Amino acid sequence: MGMAIYGCFGRSDPGIVHEIGFRLTHRGEYERISTPTPGVHIGARGSRSSFAAHGAGSIPLVFSGSISNRCELAALMSETAENTEYADRRLLWNLYRQFGPAGFERVNGSYAIALVDVQSRTLVLAVDRWSAQPLHFAAVDGGWIFASEYKALVPLLGGHPSIDPCVAAYVAATKYLPPHDTPEPRIKALGPGEYMRLTAHAHQIASYQPLRLDVDADATQERCATELRERILDAARRLTQAHEVIGVGLSGGLDSAITLGAVRKVAPHKRIYTYTVSFHTHDPVLRKAAQTARCFGAVHREIIVSPNELLSMLPELVWRMEDPIAREEMLVYHAVAQHAARETPIVLYGQMADVLFAGMPRHVLIKAASEFGFMRGAITEFYQYTQKGAQPRSRLGKLLVRTYFRGRYGAPPRVLGAEEAKGDSKDFDWSAAEPLNAALL
């Protein structure tokens, strides 16, 4: 796990920040707390190396995550790019001073930021476009508190913790938390690509400029393939250029093999470790992964998780993950992280590549609905049933569900006290030039 950030706004006693930090000791043994202006306290906790990488000094900003375009940001602000590896906080602070909170959309990487604008006595919280580094906040008597993990805030809210039944229903239906919400109704989260400004009189949440889909109707398949290849290699180069040793989580599938191939292409002489996790020694994935590792000249590690190890891994995984639902791959990521931390500062994985390349079964439905207009309504109902358990209303929609699942898949369990899970409807923009690409975006 990376560095944690936390703090409070509107409270004169910094002890509350120490309380939050105490519940985040698993993020690192080193803590830094500052009070840039009366009533505003910010803190960070992490390892010695993470503090060194983020830079020293009295800049009123704490930061969790990584930046892969330091040189571009330095050039944008007419600064020297020398030693930018050790100046993350300074870069982000100067970016804010020049462009305001919206300037953080220029950062290539995953991040959560908290800074204090002393002149206006404003606290600014910001996360990346995917909220890969989450940031949670809650209102308390006399002000606000925030932290990288919502469990660090729960004891400071008073009373007994509670669970929002509507959030529970949403999780049961969609298998993930709704944007902005947590199981504890008094704690909220910044959504992907959002920032929040807190003053003594108000709080305001805004978003970065939305991503835009540009369609070049004249582009050939060969040109698109070449451009895609270059973008993948550029991403691999950005992520690995600051490291001499690189880790890759390797499964038996194509996603992680492409990741490894891209890393080897941009780092032909660097040491690469690959990690494959299985729950038994006869798993054919182990053989495939070992072959892929040999092909690209990587040092391969096989990690076998026994049933007895699950007894100790599961409680720790739940504590570190926080989210109330997961599948078996979270155990794999956890095991890889534990082993890789001894050998490499970074691990890349092919996760979400299926989504990027429209390789999931649900993408076939979007494509079919865009091409067969007379069945669009029924296919959309079928899609909504698979994604959130919404029951189809049309006869054709019901027929598709019965024919495909044959009773093997039922509606999500009903949560007492909750209305029907609304959630993201995932409605499609059928007027777009390319509905599938619009849906992916």
Q: DSSP for 282-351, please give it.
A: T-HHHHHHHHHHHHTTPEEEEEE--HHHHHHHHHHHHHHH--S---HHHHHHHHHHHHHTTT-S-EE--T
Contact in structure between 289 and 262 (CB atoms under 8 Å): no
pLDDT in tens, the chain (441 residues): 689 999 999 977 788 999 999 999 989 888 999 999 999 999 999 987 777 666 556 899 999 998 988 888 988 887 765 554 447 888 999 999 999 999 999 999 999 999 999 999 999 999 999 899 999 999 998 799 999 999 999 999 988 889 999 899 888 888 888 889 999 999 999 999 999 999 888 889 999 998 888 888 899 999 999 999 999 999 999 999 989 999 999 988 888 999 999 999 999 999 999 999 999 999 999 999 999 999 999 999 999 999 888 888 888 888 888 888 888 888 999 999 999 999 999 999 887 777 778 888 889 999 898 888 889 999 999 988 888 778 899 999 999 999 988 877 777 788 888 876 555 556 677 777 788 888 888
- Listed in sequence order, the residues at least 6 apart from 199 whose beta carbon sits closer than 8 Å to its beta carbon are 120, 121, 122, 123
pLDDT of residue 431: 79
Query: Could you tell me where the beta strands, DSSP code E, fall in 38-171?
Result: 40-46, 61-67, 109-117, 122-127, 136-140, 143-147
Q: Give the β-pairing of 271-278 and 299-304.
A: parallel
What is the per-residue pLDDT for 424? 59
pLDDT for res 425: 55
Map tokens 């992680």 to a residue: 256
Tokens 């910001």, residue located: 126
pLDDT at 214: 83
pTM of the entire structure?
A: 0.89
State the amino acid at position 138 in one-letter form. A
Tell me what pLDDT residue 318 has.
Answer: 85
Residues 6+ positions from 108 with CB-CB distance below 8 Å: 67, 68, 69, 72, 238
The two structure tokens encoding residue 220: 């050939």
pLDDT reported for residue 430 = 79
Residue type, 301: R
**Amino acid, res. 273:** Y
Distance CA 121, CA 114 (A): 13
Residue type, 253: G
Structure tokens at 292: 């892929």
